């Protein structure tokens, strides 16, 4: 099935408007197009500008659909269409309430614009797509952005009602119901938070209902990285679960790796590539903490001191700390001292391009799942530095289960204005973690394990690979739903 | 000394621009004026509007001085002159950096405008006043807004380097160096945070230096509430420590109690007073969580359910939760159901007026020190519900040491967007805490202890009372410094 002469399904992809959610969904759209499907990628004008370049790679079969968010009506600044544009904590709830307004627009669009939709695949954070799919009488899959390990752990904690029973967010407990694991996973509620579990947001229950009623689950991971997690998760849900990732592997060439993310940023990657080309294989430490976490100035100084202590070449993707003479001065002097040995890049960097460059030997990461997965797929070992959300459980996966990383030692989520000066990770700890990966005999074991995962990853998208098979199975499943009558409502879903 | 014919010192009071810091400093200004001193109360235009009404009560001897914050230069919105106007977390550091710019203005003002200053008394959060006092060659006292118990505990933790040695913010430990206490005080770093201990703010070291070099320490507490804390704290610092509070007791009449806080709010207190007049003595539960903490809608519902379960009369000072049909609807129905038995007041309430009303029998509070102190002084027992900062240690003081309160059971600071739905305090817990104070035999013991503190408080400001004596000692000390030569710099400080 899913051949050129076979009927083409039309998938409607609905990502959450957040950088870490749009990027994998756009990659997934390209994957579907590469398998002969049509895709409508639903977004808004501000986000469409970021997605345009990568969407263009999908050709005529990938359509970017711009719905409009009524920001003003919810007290949001005009154009506040992405999580990274929400600057005041109290605007998060209005932001999500505003997103909910896309429901009617999407419903209308899908009824009016041919080709008719075959199936909706929506981010877990967009549960209102359930109402759209129900109303149109078409199947709906949930696309999960976190790791399967995170999904399974939080599911087990919820099943055992530990989110309710453990009242102290600091109280340590073991994640129950993980018999396949040789060791136990100790967490507390701060380190095992569920997405969108915010009082008043009133979204978690909706998310849980949408998860429970979905026709299938798509995961951005591959079976080889988390085999027993996928098995257990599928068993727990009792429905189809398709690990189809790492979706970033759709990009084989430099062009694709560069336009991923923010295609509107007009990144000049050539300087970075040239610099990496001049370094020894496996010699460079790459540092990036993702699109949301912000590194405080004094923490930057600790990292900088660690880099100088190791003497290793580094590529540091730095977000702007607060402005000030002190900051400018330190940065200028630091860059001057390290000229030739390290570079600092501000703003968006082509992360997959960097991680897949042979010069890169270690990745210091916040453990967002996209970053983690890209590093595992590229065979790059990690210094893990989680900040919040699923990142602490992703760290556990990397350090304790995959054993391709070393923790820098963060003990609790970072809350701006609530973290004391003593919450800084000191340069000695940073240096120790880097050296335990990039140097020594133990480091070589970690590096070897990391390379093994790259070998596995190199096959999953190829003929006979698990993720390719899963994607085909998912498409076939959709076609079967479409050619039969979908569920009890008697309406056939459409194929192009 | 400090009589009408004696020389009058001119105190320069510099509060932090935050509601919980300006209110006690303004009360303290009135106290000083009542003892015959002149006072210049330093602030900015936006805050001057809030302080005008209370400052007017000081007559000619209390001058409100408006310096200007160069907000735009620091990327702050125009008029962003109070902590409660800082809406984006990343603007806190620019806000404090901007405040620092008042140093030169204050220095110039004090040199140019007669009468010459005798002594600066500055909030702990305004350490740059050290440079002004040094430059002018005049003494400087630090005015502390938290409880002495909090100051002593955080001092002991710092002395024993536990802020550095305990890396996990969740790890429980006992506050060291409190031999006078029969029981040990268990905390973790989340519950024992120091003010302004924020990486990059770079203020904590400055604060510590300004504390160490101050000529004396003024506390808004009275010796009778925390006797051994004051003794130990004085011993630890090795300098003059004057507990002169509760400064709110300066307001004997309704007028003063009403204009405290935000004098520009134009509060109509008569409805509240009349309603309280119609209630039985000790029958009313008063609920308020201060000027910063925001109660989420779903939490409001839990509180509302608890109130209805107890059936007790209530006065609820409610800050606006997020907007929405659901919220409006619930509130309208709740008010309708409870008409006659309870009232909800939105916006600023005259808290001291309410707490000193005989109808009020219990106070559900966030344990900010001003609120806590006002309740102790009024003899009102508390349901303690700390949110952040010093509030957890204030709760310990009330529940474990004064034993005039019952904890609602909050385990960790509340962080917006990071608190799960399970972080809500359930209505049963709220009801239980309220009933354990307002009902039963054990409740009567708590209520009796609370009344004892009101008796003590009623004497501290009178002739022979400890706080009056301390204030006189502080003024005499200042005059002695002024009439002798101040320190080694050979300059005499001025008296009017």
Q: A296 contacts in B (CB within 8 Å)?
A: 199-200
In angstroms, the CA A401 to CA A482 distance is: 39
* Catalytic positions of B, written as ranges: 21, 123
Looking up residue B276, the CATH number of its domain turns out to be 3.40.50.2000
Mean of pLDDT values over B207-219: 95
pLDDT, tens digit (0-9, with 9 covering 90-100), for B111-127: 998 899 999 999 999 99
State the smallest CA–CA distance between residue B167 and chain A in angstroms. Answer: 7
Q: How does residue A421 score in pLDDT terms, banded at 50, 70 and 90?
A: low
pLDDT of residue A261: 63
Report the candidate in A120, A117, A125 with the shortest Cα–Cα distance to residue A144.
A125
Residues B286, B216 share a domain: no
In angstroms, the CA A14 to CA A43 distance is: 7
State the smallest CA–CA distance between residue B461 and chain A in angstroms. Answer: 37
Residues B378, B469 share a domain: no
Considering the domain boundaries, does residue A490 fall inside one? no
Residues B86, B201 share a domain: yes
Considering the domain boundaries, does residue A220 fall inside one? yes
Considering the domain boundaries, does residue A358 fall inside one? yes
State the smallest CA–CA distance between residue A165 and chain B in angstroms. Answer: 9
Residues A427, A475 share a domain: no
pLDDT, tens digit (0-9, with 9 covering 90-100), for B282-333: 999 999 998 777 777 888 899 999 999 999 999 999 876 555 677 788 999 9
Residues A69, A106 share a domain: yes
Residues A473, A424 share a domain: no
pLDDT of residue B190: 85
pLDDT, tens digit (0-9, with 9 covering 90-100), for A242-275: 999 999 999 887 777 777 766 555 556 788 999 9
Report the candidate in B136, B131, B114, B110 with the shortest Cα–Cα distance to residue B13.
B110
How far separated are the first and last CA of chain B, in Å rounded? 14
User: Which of A169, A388, A391, A430 is the best substitution to test chain B (most B C-beta atoms within 10 A)?
Assistant: A169
Q: Say whether pLDDT at A323 is over 90.
A: no
Which of A4, A60, A104, A123 does the annotation list as catalytic?
A123
> What domain count does chain B have?
2
Considering the domain boundaries, does residue A496 fall inside one? no
In angstroms, the CA B228 to CA B149 distance is: 9
In angstroms, the CA B245 to CA B338 distance is: 37
CA distances from B375 to B92, B368, B382, B450 (A): 30, 11, 8, 9
CA distances from B194 to B157, B163, B190, B205 (A): 10, 9, 10, 12
Mean of pLDDT values over A232-240: 95
Residues B93, B237 share a domain: yes
- Number of Cβ within 10 Å of residue A343's Cβ equals 18
User: Which of A417, A419, A427 is the best substitution to test chain B (most B C-beta atoms within 10 A)?
Assistant: A417
pLDDT of residue B1: 42
pLDDT: which is higher, B240 or A490: B240
Considering the domain boundaries, does residue A5 fall inside one? no
- Would you call B421 and A197 a contact, using CB atoms and an 8 Å cutoff? yes
Query: Catalytic annotation on A253?
Result: no
Q: A169 contacts in B (CB within 8 Å)?
A: 170, 411-412, 420, 423
Query: Catalytic annotation on A366?
Result: no
State the smallest CA–CA distance between residue A365 and chain B in angstroms. Answer: 20
Q: Which residue of B has its CA nearest to A325?
A: B97
Mean of pLDDT values over A432-436: 97
Q: Say whether pLDDT at A490 is over 70.
A: no
Considering the domain boundaries, does residue A492 fall inside one? no
pLDDT of residue B224: 96
- Structural domain range at position B419: 266-458
The helix or strand, by DSSP H or E, that contains position A233, with its residue range, turns out to be: helix A227-237
Residues A182, A44 share a domain: yes
Considering the domain boundaries, does residue B5 fall inside one? no
Residues B284, B233 share a domain: no
pLDDT, tens digit (0-9, with 9 covering 90-100), for B11-59: 999 999 999 999 999 999 999 999 999 999 999 999 999 999 989 999 9
pLDDT: which is higher, B111 or B251: B111
Q: Which residues, including other chains, have CB under 8 Å from residue B221's CB and lie 6 or more apart? A: B147, B148, B230, B243, B245, B246, B373
In angstroms, the CA B406 to CA B389 distance is: 19
Residues A76, A19 share a domain: yes
Q: Say whether pLDDT at A489 is over 50.
A: no
pLDDT, tens digit (0-9, with 9 covering 90-100), for A341-371: 999 988 778 899 999 999 999 999 999 999 9
Considering the domain boundaries, does residue B490 fall inside one? no
Residues A58, A198 share a domain: yes
Residues A410, A469 share a domain: no
pLDDT, tens digit (0-9, with 9 covering 90-100), for A108-135: 999 998 899 999 999 999 999 999 999 9
Mean of pLDDT values over A473-495: 73
Lowest mean pLDDT among A199-208, B141-150, B247-256: A199-208
Could you tell me the pTM of the whole model?
0.83
């Amino acid at each position: 099935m899913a051949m050129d002469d076979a009927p083409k399904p039309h998938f409607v992809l609905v990502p959450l408007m957040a950088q870490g959610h749009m990027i994998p969904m756009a990659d997934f759209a390209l994957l579907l197009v590469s398998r002969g499907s049509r895709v409508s990628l639903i977004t808004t004008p501000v986000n469409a500008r970021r997605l345009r370049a990568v969407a263009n790679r999908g050709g005529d079969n990938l359509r970017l659909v711009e719905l409009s968010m009524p920001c003003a009506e919810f007290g949001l600044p005009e154009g506040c269409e992405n999580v990274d544009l929400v600057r005041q904590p109290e605007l998060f709830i209005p932001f999500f309430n505003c997103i909910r307004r896309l429901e009617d627009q999407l419903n209308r669009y899908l009824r009016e614009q041919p080709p008719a939709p075959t199936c909706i695949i929506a981010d877990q954070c967009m549960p209102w797509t359930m109402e759209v799919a129900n109303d149109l009488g078409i199947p709906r899959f949930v696309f999960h952005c976190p790791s399967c390990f995170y999904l399974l752990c939080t599911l087990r904690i919820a099943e055992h009602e530990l989110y309710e029973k453990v009242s102290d967010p600091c109280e340590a407990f073991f994640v129950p119901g993980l018999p396949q694991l040789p060791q136990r996973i100790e967490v507390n509620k701060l380190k095992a938070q569920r997405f969108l579990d915010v009082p008043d947001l009133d979204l978690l229950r909706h998310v849980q209902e949408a998860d429970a009623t979905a026709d299938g689950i798509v995961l951005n991971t591959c079976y080889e990285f988390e085999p027993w997690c996928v098995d257990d998760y599928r068993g727990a849900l009792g429905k189809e679960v398709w690990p189809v990732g790492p979706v970033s592997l759709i990009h084989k060439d430099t062009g694709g790796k560069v336009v991923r993310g923010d295609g509107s940023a007009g990144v000049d990657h050539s300087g970075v590539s040239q610099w990496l080309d001049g370094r020894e294989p496996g010699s460079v430490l790459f540092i990036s903490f993702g699109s949301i976490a912000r590194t405080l100035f004094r923490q930057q100084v600790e990292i900088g001191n660690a880099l100088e202590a190791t003497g290793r070449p580094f590529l540091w993707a730095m977000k702007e700390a607060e402005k000030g003479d002190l900051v400018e001065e330190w940065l200028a002097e630091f860059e001057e001292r390290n000229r030739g040995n390290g570079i600092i890049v501000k703003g968006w960097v082509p992360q997959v391009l960097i991680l897949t460059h042979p010069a890169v030997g270690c990745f210091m990461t916040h453990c967002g799942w996209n970053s983690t997965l890209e590093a595992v797929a590229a065979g790059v070992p990690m210094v893990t530095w989680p900040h919040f959300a699923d990142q602490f459980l992703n760290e556990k996966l990397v350090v304790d289960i995959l054993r391709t990383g070393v923790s820098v030692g963060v003990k609790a989520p970072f809350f701006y204005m609530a973290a004391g000066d003593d919450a800084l990770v000191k340069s000695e700890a940073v240096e120790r973690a880097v050296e335990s990966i990039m140097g020594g005999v133990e480091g070589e074991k970690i590096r070897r394990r990391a390379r093994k995962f790259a070998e596995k990853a190199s096959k999953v998208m190829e003929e006979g690979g698990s993720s390719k098979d899963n994607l085909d199975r998912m498409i076939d499943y959709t076609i079967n739903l479409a050619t039969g009558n979908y569920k009890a409502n008697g309406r056939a879903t459409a194929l192009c």
